[in-house]
Each structure stands twice: as C-alpha cells, then as structure tokens.
Amino acid sequence: QQPVQSPQAVILREGEDAVINCSSSKALYSVHWYRQKHGEAPVFLMILLKGGEQKGHDKISASFNEKKQQSSLYLTASQLSYSGTYFCGTERKYGNKLVFGAGTILRVKS
C-alpha cells in the first residue's frame, strides 16, 4: 500500500529545477505532500484531491493524474531553504488512513 517515490535523492544547485514522483498501485482519493527538515516534524505543503488537479504556491507546485495513480511535485528555481526530505502521502478513499512513501532527499547547494 505504501506509495513509491522517485528519485530516492537529488542534489541541485540554487536556481535549478527538480521533479519528485509518487506512484501507487491502487486507486487514490487524494495525494498529500510534506517536507521534513532534519530533526524536525514534517510540514504540510499541499493536498491534491481531484484527478488532473494541479496546485502550487510560490515556486512549488504539484500535479495529480488520477488515472495513472501518480503525482509529481515540481520545485522550480530551487532555494537553499528547499533542502529536506519530501514525502508523499496517499489516501485510497474518503476517511481512510494516510500512508506515506519512503521519501526523497533533496539537497540544494549554493
């Protein structure tokens, strides 16, 4: 049931772009994205509820392809503050539990 994230890790220079993918073998109701910095609690980024939905704030956005049961997180013009581990969480149906992937480590270098 755990969603699969790729890549496992990525290193960027400031200003570069990155894409993190999340896929599930089961039909999904929603996809959630969180970022966790070392030694801290995960922090919410966004929820995508509908197939084909795209959301974003600032330079971080995401898409959700309901038919393919996939979501992608897009980080554009990355900043040092984007460094951390990104987790997608998937919910298979309304009111169901949120299951997280293993995470993608993102490191942005100056």
Partner 1 sequence: GAGVSQTPSNKVTEKGKYVELRCDPISGHTALYWYRQSLGQGPEFLIYFQGTGAADDSGLPNDRFFAVRPEGSVSTLKIQRTERGDSAVYLCASSFAAQGGTGELFFGEGSRLTVL
Where do contacts with partner 1 occur on this chain (CB under 8 A)?
2, 29-30, 32, 34, 40-44, 47, 49, 87, 89, 91, 94-103
Q: Which is nearer to partner 1, 13 or 38 (CB)?
A: 38
Residue type (1 letter), 19: V
Helix (H, G, I), strand (E, B) or coil at 40: coil
Write down the least CB distance from residue 67 to partner 1, Å: 19
Q: Which is nearer to partner 1, 16 or 61 (CB)?
A: 61
Sign of CA dihedral 66, 69, 74, 80: positive
Write down the least CB distance from residue 2 to partner 1, Å: 8
**CA neighbor of 32 nearest in space, from 106, 96, 110, 77:** 96
Write down the least CB distance from residue 60 to partner 1, Å: 15
Helix (H, G, I), strand (E, B) or coil at 98: coil
